[in-house]
Amino acid sequence: MELFIVFLFGTLIGSFLNVVILRIPRDENIAFPASHCFTCSTPLKPWHNIPLFSWLFLGGKCAFCKSPISSQYPIIELLSGVLFFTIAYKIGITLSSAFVALTFLMLLALSMIDFKYKMAPDSLNLLAILFAILSAYSFSMFVLNLENALLFAGGFTLLRFSLSYILTSIAHSKAKRTQTSWTKNYQTYPFIEAMGEADIMVAATMGALLGIKLALVSIFVAAVLALPVMLYVQGRSLEEQRVPFIPFLAMGTFITYLLDTQIYAYLETLYA
Ligand SMILES: [Zn+2]
């Protein structure tokens, strides 16, 4: 029963998350105006705002003008409900688990925005890191989470620096090899950047939430999940080749988080 209430609460939060996902990329206020139809602008009645059910009862159409309502609404509400349910089921209902849920909620919003707009709002990214660090259940764990966030932010910065240098060198192989990306000459040799800054921030969140070992595993899981998509877009236009990576990082993080015990057990056998 408790878990069912947690699920319902999750769908309500998901309903709010939809507003965040739609309004932040457009630079709109997330509190005003009240929910309204995007086609006819009619404000919604309270019973049009019930998570999952409203969309199903209205058959995915606006109650006033009958124009279709994006299936993003029920999908995010359902995912958010499942997210809250799963975390409560796994680690119980505590302040710590609430911050874990909030972290994943931010990752869900970032994934959706990255998927739709190929961008990642800094505000959500910073909140994700903050929530992940606060998900500690003791002060020493809080310090550890902070350390791991810094470690992964730094590690990923170094990785991006190196990859960008390699990519730039390959692209301008006739250029002088002594040029590092710090001494880059933008006019003559355009600099190629590997990964976005947002991916580094997501990595910091993963480090804080999962710890070093699990975060490395989750990056590997994310890469494996992304591989088929990367192969699929090979040879297509440059725009299509820009695969949003945050959804894969988020999925990798969630899978690793759920299977942490099994993964730790497997890692033990590797070292034994
Ligand atoms: Zn309408």
CA of 28 to the centre of ligand 1 (A): 19
- For residue 120, how far is its CA from the centre of ligand 1 (angstroms)? 29
Q: 70 alpha carbon to ligand 1 midpoint, in Å?
A: 12
Asked, for residue 156, whether it belongs to a domain, the answer is yes
What pLDDT, on the 0 to 100 scale, is given for residue 248? 96
Cβ neighbours of residue 28 under 8 Å, at least 6 residues apart? Answer: none
**How remote is the CA of residue 25 from the centroid of ligand 1, in Å?**
21
Cα 113 to ligand 1 centre (Å) = 23
**pLDDT tier, 112 (very low <50, low <70, confident <90, very high otherwise):** very high
Is 170 inside a domain boundary?
yes
| Residue 249, domain member (yes or no) | yes
| Mean pLDDT confidence for 211-236 | 91
**What's the pTM?**
0.89
pLDDT score of 246: 94
Q: How far is the CA of 47 from the centre of ligand 1 (A)?
A: 15
pLDDT in tens, 231-254: 888 878 777 777 889 999 999 999
CA of 63 to the centre of ligand 1 (A): 7
CA distance 62 to 143: 49
Domain assignment of residue 249, given as a range: 139-272
Band (216; pLDDT cuts 50, 70, 90):
very high
Give distance in angstroms: CA of 41 to centre of ligand 1.
6
| Ligand 1 midpoint to CA 68 (Å) | 8
Q: How far is the CA of 187 from the centre of ligand 1 (A)?
A: 50
Cα(65) to centroid of ligand 1, in Å?
A: 4
- As for how many domains the chain has, the answer is 1
The CA distance from 71 to 48, in Å, is 15
Q: Specify if 223 maps to a domain.
A: yes
Tell me, in angstroms, the distance from the centre of ligand 1 to residue 35's CA.
Answer: 11
Report the chain's C-alpha Rg in angstroms.
21
Q: How many CB atoms lie within 10 A of CB 60?
A: 13
Ligand 1 centre distance from Cα of residue 66 (Å):
6
- The alpha carbon of 42 and the centre of ligand 1 are apart by a number of angstroms equal to 6
Tell me, yes or no, whether 44 lies in a domain: no
Question: DSSP letters along 103-169, please?
Answer: HHHHHHHHHHHHHHHS---HHHHHHHHHHHHHT-SSHHHHHHHHHHHHHHHHHHHHHHHHHHHHHHH
Q: Which of 18-22, 34-38, 163-167, 268-272 has the highest mean pLDDT?
A: 18-22
> 43-50: long-range contacts at Cβ-Cβ below 8 A with a sequence spacing of 24 or more?
49/15
- The pLDDT tens digits for 72-91 are 999 999 999 999 999 999 99
Query: Tokens in use for 188?
Result: 């003559």
For residue 210, the CA-to-ligand 1 centroid distance in Å is 43
pLDDT confidence of 51, banded at 50, 70, 90?
A: confident
Q: Is residue 261 part of a domain?
A: yes
How confident is the prediction for the chain on average, in pLDDT?
88
Distance 189 CA to ligand 1 centre (A): 51
